[in-house]
Amino acid sequence: MPNQREFFRLRLSVPFSFAILEAQDPEVPTNQTFTFQTQDLSGGGLRFESALPLEAGDCLQLKLIFPGSATIDVKATVVWCDKVRAPDIELYTGGIRFEGISEEEQDTIVGHLFQAQIEARKKARVINEVDAD
């Protein structure tokens, strides 16, 4: 199946918080803020893991928190959410698509992704140099 993503996606853990604006399940609380870490991130969305059973179509107000710099505050929609097999815990993984994100906000996210890639390559190069000694 061809990759239909508009942006490249990088495995990166970034803190984010969200409030549910509209939930498909009326039992899900809409007056709380939840905080998690991304599993991967792109200029168009993110993948997450949580104990919260979100559903496709849930609308969120989401805030990405980049350490030492800007935060991105954007509306988002849950695209998918599946239960994960995990011992002794209810765990879900899902995908979130940013809605109405500005080009400047996307550029900020993509800039952080490029910086993370550069840092990872530098670390890999240092490890390879140490291993070669």
pTM over 0.95: no
Q: How far apart are CA 11 and CA 39, in angstroms?
A: 6
Answer whether CATH 3.40.630.30 is correct for domain 10-132: no
Provide the residue ranges of all domains of the chain, joining segments of one domain with +: 10-132
Q: At a CB cut-off of 8 Å and minimum separation 6, what does 54 contact?
A: 20, 23, 28, 78, 81, 92, 94
What does residue 129 show for φ and ψ, rounded to 5 degrees? Answer: -65, -40
Dump pLDDT digits (tens) for 32-89. 899 999 999 998 999 999 888 899 999 999 999 887 777 899 999 999 999 987 778 8
**Residue 63 near residue 108 (C-beta atoms within 8 A):** no
The alpha helices in 31-102, defined as continuous H runs, are: none
